[in-house]
Chain A
Amino acid sequence: MSIRRGLLALLAQEPMYGAQLRSEFESRTGGTWPLNVGQVYTTLARLERDGLVERGELVEGADGADGEGRIAYCLTDFGRTEVERWWAAPVDRGDTPRDELVIKLALAVTVTGVDIVRLVQTQRTATLRHLQDLTKLKRATPEVAGEHGPDQQKELAWLLVLDNLVYAAEAEIRWLDHVESRLAREATRSPKARTADTASSQADRSTEGASR
């Protein structure tokens, strides 16, 4: 998750100081990606270095610090352009994250001595429990209809984040179902049938070769 973009988007609304950015980020994403203040200030320092933010003009006192010693940051024009660009562009999905489960399954089918059927079932049960926990969080969040205050908007943001996690867990379970039935089909093919397949495909290839 790009904290950088997230902070820029928040600052596009109004100048904020570090702790405020952190709590706004967390309340709008339901605390799903907790930040520590250190991360926020490191990110702000980099953004300042890159000319995307600057220390705010709105704060009282010298050195950009207000009465409580907080430094408010605001976007530069360059930073504003960067936020506009972020809203307009799709999120890059080409950079596939390494998923431990996918790696685990890929290895499990290629090494001997792993009970892969059991592995799939154990994982599916665990993922479904996770899905139940997410659903409990949804149940605990009341459906607010017809109100549009800032609290309701944050509630809606939180529900949408939850839904994203729900759909991701569901997708994993569906994939595991698919893996299970695929493995079951492989298991019913006798070694003899498999050899026959290979033989026929080789025959196909040789025919192909002959026709060329």
Chain B
Amino acid sequence: MTTNPILLLDNVSRVHGRDETAVRALDGVTLTVHAGELVAVMGPSGSGKSTLLNLAGGLDQPTTGRVVVEGADVGAMSLRDLAALRRRTLGFVFQDFNLIPSLTAVENVALPLELDGERVRKARRIALDSLEAVGIAELADRYPEHMSGGQQQRVAIARALVGDRRLVLADEPTGALDSQTGEDVLRVLRSRCDAGAGGLLVTHEARHAAWADRVVFLRDGVVVDTTGTPPTAESLLDAAGAV
């Protein structure tokens, strides 16, 4: 087992605007997500949660500090490499599912693979495996409008982690779901992390954050507290031995 994190935010700051109108959205945040780990970020609106997620996903660049995904410094990448990183390494899950309505579940999940040049038949096979892993293989040929919110969110998780993608960035993934369905989605996310993925979950609901291994509290762009410490090589080995 490697102890290199899937995601590393190293003393990251993000400032919007300049001089007097400058707003510090994030201020010196350091955060890691290892394989098999689900990390939750909690904070009120305006605390910098979305900025943090956008930086982690390469959708935005830090003003200072480094964002490292699977060992690669996102800040040093060309736009082309960045696009490839987003296709191959990580996936987003949003509150409103963001599935493409004209594609079936399996086509939605296969899309990032096909965009990356994978042959259609093979992409479909890998996508089916991913749907199987979130427990809805039987819905593969359904269109989003014929699925419940919870089912659509499972498809989104399957898409985020299809094939070799190992990092899922989830932005309030249960926001549009009722409490039981929301919990089911968290269970799926949790099980995908237990199976080896890394997850970064942004939420303002403590009940959902509690599914994570660690919860980081963000206030005004600063980490004010965290439950537990990031895993060390020893604790990871212990955990692997205990299973």
Contacts of B224 in A (CB 8 A): 121
0/1 interface trace, chain A 146-180, chain B, CB 8 Å (1 if under) = 00000000000000000000110110011001000
B211 at the A interface (CB under 8 A)? yes
B80 at the interface (CB under 8 A from A): no
Contact of A170 among B205, B211, B226 (CB under 8 A): B205
Give chain B residues whose Cβ lies under 8 Å from the Cβ of A169.
Answer: 206, 210
Name the residue of chain B whose CB is nearest to the CB of A176: B206
Cα-based distance from A139 to B215 in the complex (angstroms): 17
Does A201 reach chain B (CB closer than 8 Å)? Answer: no
In the bound assembly, the distance between CA atoms of A124 and B215 in angstroms comes to 11
Complex Cα spacing A170 to B44, Å: 15
A 126-147 binary contact with B (CB < 8 Å = 1; else 0): 0111011011000100010000
Decide: A125 and B211 in contact? CB cutoff 8 A.
Answer: no
Q: Is the CB of A131 within 8 A of B217?
A: no
Beta-carbon contact of B207 and A128 below 8 Å: no
* B209 interface contact, C-beta 8 A: yes
Closest CB-CB distance, A114 to chain B, in whole Å? 18
Q: Does B124 contact A (CB under 8 A)?
A: no
Given the complex, which residues of A lie within 8 Å of B212, measured CB to CB?
132
A202 close to chain B: CB less than 8 A? no
Assess the A173–B225 pair: CB atoms within 8 A.
Answer: no
Closest to B43 in A: A177
- Interface size range of chain B in the complex: 10 to 19
Chain A contacts with B in 99-129, Cβ cutoff 8 A: 121-122, 124-125, 127-129
Q: Which parts of B25-73 form the interface with A (CB within 8 Å)?
A: 44
Contacts of A134 in B (CB 8 A): 210
Secondary structure at chain A's binding surface: helix, strand, loop or mixed? Answer: helix
The interface residues of chain B lying within 8 Å CB-to-CB of A135 are: 210-211
Q: Which chain A residues lie closer than 8 Å to B217 at the CB level?
A: 121, 124-125
* Residue ID in chain A nearest B219 by CB atoms: A180
Judge whether B215 and A132 touch: CB under 8 Å. Answer: yes
A81 interfacial contact with B, CB 8 Å = no
| Least Cβ–Cβ distance between A14 and chain B, in angstroms | 33
Establish whether residues A131 and B210, one from each chain, have CB atoms under 8 Å apart when the complex forms. yes
0/1 interface trace, chain B 168-206, chain A, CB 8 Å (1 if under): 000000000000000000010010000000000000011
Q: How far is the CB of A163 from chain B (nearest CB, A)?
A: 9
Name the CB-closest residue of B to A125. Answer: B225
Docked complex Cα distance between A174 and B44 (Å): 11
B206 to A, closest residue via Cβ: A173
Chain A's closest residue to B213 (CB) is A132
Indicate whether B148 reaches chain A with its CB closer than 8 angstroms: no
Residue A181, interface by CB 8 Å: yes
Residues of chain B within 8 A of A174, CB atoms compared: 206
Report Cα–Cα, A54/B227, bound state, in Å.
52
Complex CA–CA separation, A41 to B54 (angstroms): 61
A128 touches B209 (CB 8 A): yes
- Give which listed residue, A139, A166, A177, contacts B44 with CB less than 8 A: A177
Q: How far is the CA of A82 from the CA of B46 in the complex (A)?
A: 53
Q: Flag if A124 contacts B190 (CB, 8 Å).
A: no
Q: Which residues of A contact B44 (CB under 8 A)?
A: 177, 181
Closest to B194 in A: A139
Residue pair B227, A139 in contact (C-beta under 8 Å): no
CB distance from B213 to the nearest CB of A (A): 8
Q: What CA separation (Å) do A174 and B210 show in the bound complex?
A: 13
Inside 8 A of B209's CB, which chain A residues have their CB?
A: 128, 131
**For the complex of A and B, 10 pairs with smallest distance between CB atoms:** A131-B210, A173-B206, A135-B210, A170-B207, A132-B210, A170-B206, A125-B225, A129-B227, A121-B225, A128-B227
22 A–B contacts, CB within 8 A, in A order: A121-B217, A121-B225, A122-B225, A124-B217, A125-B217, A125-B225, A125-B226, A127-B206, A128-B215, A129-B227, A131-B206, A131-B207, A131-B210, A132-B215, A132-B227, A139-B190, A166-B207, A167-B207, A170-B207, A173-B206, A177-B44, A181-B44
Query: Which residues of A does B touch, CB under 8 Å?
Result: 121-122, 124-125, 127-129, 131-132, 134-135, 139, 143, 166-167, 169-170, 173-174, 177, 181
Binding site for A on B (CB under 8 A): 44, 187, 190, 205-207, 209-212, 215, 217, 224-228
